[in-house]
Amino acid sequence: MTAPSDTSPAASLRHALLIHREQALTQLYRRAFPSVSRHVLRHGGSAEDAQDVFQDALVVFYEQAVGETLTLTAAPSTYLMGISRNLWRHELRRRARLPHEALPDDPGPLAAEAAPETEETSFAVLDYVERLGVRCKSLLLAFYYFQQPLTQIAADHDYRSVRSATVQKFKCLERLRESVRAVFRAETIEY
């Protein structure tokens, strides 16, 4: 994949996350985590809380960056610090209300996006994704979540062409749909 035509910081960051995800995430982690960790430890959290909050913030950041909804007016580490502070404040409030419950597995603001009635089905789909097999799972996540370009997906997964990768992607999606069809049917009958 060639360099982005848009040279804004957000576009460069998006490009780095799409092409060299591990390297770009490691760099962000190294730059931003120490400040976030200090903040969480100074405000009543543990090392584990700091890790959880920062990783939730990175998930939000990643989705905004690759989804092209990120407008960077400061350094990425400053932006990550801002998201982490908000998430930690939110978590402290949640703990004050429910003192005996642990930090949820999924970041609150993200989980809240799904309507309650579809959330259960989404979790059912999640189980079937895990059972798909390494190759199909990797192909589907690369395209639908990590939003990698099909040229890169074809190269990474050893497909001869973008067309072959596209056909395989739809075959994997079809397999997933067949697996979860029973869940949807059961839900429809309940309605």
Enumerate binding residues for another protein (CB under 8 A). 21-22, 25-26, 29-30, 33-34, 37-38, 41, 51, 55, 58-59, 62, 106, 110, 114, 118, 121-126, 128-130, 137, 140-141, 144-146, 167, 170-171, 173-174, 176-177, 180-181, 184, 188
Among residues 72 and 124, whose Cβ is nearest to another protein? 124
Chain CA centroid to CA 61, Å:
9
Q: CB 111 → another protein: shortest distance, Å?
A: 9
Q: CB 96 → another protein: shortest distance, Å?
A: 25
Q: CB 27 → another protein: shortest distance, Å?
A: 10
Q: CB 37 → another protein: shortest distance, Å?
A: 5
Chain CA centroid to CA 136, Å:
18
Chain CA centroid to CA 187, Å:
27
CB 39 within 8 A of CB 85: yes
* Nearest one of 154, 156, 147, 157 to 17, comparing CA atoms: 147
**Residue 175 phi, psi (nearest 5):** -60, -40
Among residues 11 and 173, whose Cβ is nearest to another protein? 173
Chain CA centroid to CA 154, Å:
21
